[in-house]
Amino acid sequence: MQTPLLAGVALVFSLAIWGQQADQPTQTRPAAASQHTDTGQTQASGAADSTRDAKTPDQKISPKQAEELFRSVDEILQFASKDSGLPIKNEVKRQLSSRDQVVAYLEKSIAEDKDTKRLQRSELVLKKFGLLPHDFDLQSFLVELLREQVAGYYDPKTKMVNLLDWLDADEQRPVLAHELTHALQDQSFDLEKWMKVGDADINDKANPTPADIEADEIGEDREAVVEGQAMVTLMDYMLAPVGKSLLTSPEMAKAMKEAMLVGTAETPEFKRAPIFLQQELTFPYRYGLDFIAELLQHGGKEKAFTDVFANPPQSTRQIMQPETYLSGERIDPMPLPDYKVDFKDYERFDIGAIGEFDVAVLVDQYAGVDESKKMYPQWRGGYYYAVRPKGESAAPLGVLYLSRWSDAASAKEFAAIYAKSIEQRYKKVSAEGETPLGNLRDIKMLSGTHEWRTEEGTVVISVEANEALITESLDRVTTVRLEHELLPAPAN
């Protein structure tokens, strides 16, 4: 359930989640650089201070500070190149931007982004799955969040690193290490072109194939590579004064990642975001950092910073579990419906992958973090197909969701967790036949076929072997046909 606009904006603006939290340690850099890894207290305070500044008139940095900051670009670019092994091929242009300029550029990027229509479709699908509240305005939220979080960015269109005239120069230097890594990536691999491979909209295909489903996560995976590399350079920049790096001290990654989460959670806009968006927005930084760190340990800088561009990950599973990338694991393709026959009475609204990351968030939201960590490694494939009855644009969204797991027990566990979400997502729920309702919260596994009626139609969960098929707001004939067509034959 990738939200493509998030990926595009994150690449341009980097959200600077770390940069916002780096202000306190970097004011006394280099001596206090290691403070960044101790606790989340300093980072939380720093982020809150930056947010308060965004609500009050900005205090501009002095011309002298701006001049020093401009000069530091070349110094930090040299560090980023040496740290990553990515060569400097061109001088990086730089400019000082005001908050108004940044916000105007941000809003223009969102308004013109070619993925805006898919964002709007994804928003409705996310609401159907309960991952966004029904009254949530995703696009407006993104503008406010980025207004709060941005702390410098590299624009691959203009080849320009943008420095901010309202943040202290010392606060921006670690951000520069991050953003200048993007500049080096761009010089060697053409970021816009490389990221566009993941921009293809599966909905442009008349008859999407299993390969199209798999490719639906590529944008998210590539963003994790880009941001993960930049996070490694940022960390190494902050650790350099004490003679450490992520390669020599990999344990530092966990501490700094935890500090990031604590600090970011204190900012007002991020704090009010639903779980899905909090996880989605931090995914490329948290998991991307771990992914690149693992490549560093297994193959050094060349594997982590160069080879991965030639052989990029293909799924969020490979990002979240780097060992699957390193081993070259391939997931068997999922069976797809006969669109024209099975959905002859419906119009397609959206289609997309439900990858390991999406499953992790679903389980997190409805069963908790511990259950999520236990369940998501068992994921082995999934997608959704959203439709509306022909000629009924106001009808509830109908959804097919097919999910595959490592074994039958995991499929049953996931089905039970998904069933628990029904009462949370719908106002009126009644069980059909022997389907459980009152004791849903106590169910650990769900097998066979179960049906619930809601104000938006019927929800059916069918489990066979290691697969779970879920339909919502579809007619019974269509659901039965999909069960026969997509689920494994019952064991004798």
Note whether 280 and 186 are same-domain residues: yes
Note whether 463 and 421 are same-domain residues: yes
Instruction: Please state, in angstroms and rounded to a whole number, the distance separating the CA atoms of residues 330 and 316.
Output: 13
Note whether 100 and 171 are same-domain residues: yes
Note whether 388 and 454 are same-domain residues: yes
Note whether 269 and 348 are same-domain residues: no
Q: Which two tokens stand for residue 136?
A: 């949530």
How much is the pLDDT for 446? Answer: 86
Question: Could you please report the per-residue DSSP string of 316-363?
Answer: HHHHHSHHHHHTT--PPPPP---HHHHTTTEEEEEEEE--HHHHHHHH
Contact predicate 385/34, CB 8 Å: no
How much is the pLDDT for 264? Answer: 58
Instruction: Please state, in angstroms and rounded to a whole number, the distance separating the CA atoms of residues 1 and 359.
Output: 10
Q: At 141, phi and psi to the nearest 5? A: -60, -45
Closest CA to 314 of 294, 328, 335: 328
Note whether 255 and 162 are same-domain residues: yes
Kindly state whether residue 491 falls inside one of the protein's structural domains: no
Note whether 101 and 222 are same-domain residues: yes
Kindly state whether residue 152 falls inside one of the protein's structural domains: yes
162: enclosing H helix or E strand: strand 160-164
User: pLDDT of the chain along its 492 residues, tens only?
Assistant: 655 444 433 333 343 444 333 333 333 222 222 222 222 222 222 233 333 344 556 678 888 888 888 899 999 999 999 999 999 999 999 998 887 888 777 777 766 655 566 777 888 999 999 999 999 988 788 878 777 777 678 889 899 998 888 878 888 888 899 999 999 999 999 999 998 886 777 888 888 999 999 899 999 999 999 999 999 999 999 899 999 988 888 887 777 767 766 655 567 888 888 989 888 888 998 899 999 999 999 999 999 999 999 999 999 999 999 999 999 999 999 999 999 999 999 999 999 999 999 999 999 999 999 999 999 999 999 999 999 999 998 999 999 999 999 999 999 999 999 999 998 999 998 887 666 655 666 677 888 999 999 999 999 999 999 999 999 999 999 999 999 999 988 776
- Amino acid 414 reads F
Instruction: Please state, in angstroms and rounded to a whole number, the distance separating the CA atoms of residues 230 and 244.
Output: 17
CA angle, residues 257, 115, 365, in degrees to nearest 5: 45
How much is the pLDDT for 45? Answer: 26
| pTM of the complete model | 0.86
How much is the pLDDT for 204? Answer: 82
How much is the pLDDT for 22? Answer: 37
Kindly state whether residue 357 falls inside one of the protein's structural domains: yes
Note whether 221 and 85 are same-domain residues: yes
Kindly state whether residue 444 falls inside one of the protein's structural domains: yes
Region class of 122: left (phi > 0), else alpha (psi between -120 and 50), else beta: alpha
Give me the domain span that covers residue 295. 4-326
383: enclosing H helix or E strand: strand 379-389
Distance from chain centroid for Cα 353: 13
Kindly state whether residue 223 falls inside one of the protein's structural domains: yes
Note whether 304 and 358 are same-domain residues: no
Note whether 311 and 348 are same-domain residues: no
Instruction: Please state, in angstroms and rounded to a whole number, the distance separating the CA atoms of residues 23 and 178.
Output: 14
> How many CB atoms sit inside 10 A of residue 375's CB?
21
Kindly state whether residue 248 falls inside one of the protein's structural domains: yes
Kindly state whether residue 376 falls inside one of the protein's structural domains: yes
How many domains does the chain contain in total?
2
Instruction: Please state, in angstroms and rounded to a whole number, the distance separating the CA atoms of residues 147 and 34.
Output: 28
Instruction: Please state, in angstroms and rounded to a whole number, the distance separating the CA atoms of residues 419 and 167.
Output: 48
Domain end point (choices 300, 326, 352): 326
Note whether 191 and 69 are same-domain residues: yes
298: enclosing H helix or E strand: helix 275-301
Q: What is the strand order of the sheet 448-454 is part of?
A: 346-353, 379-389, 398-405, 467-472, 457-464, 448-454, 429-431
Would you call the peptide bond into 322 cis, given omega within 30 degrees of 0 as the criterion?
no
CA angle, residues 83, 86, 89, in degrees to nearest 5: 130
Note whether 210 and 238 are same-domain residues: yes
Kindly state whether residue 333 falls inside one of the protein's structural domains: no
Contact predicate 365/131, CB 8 Å: yes
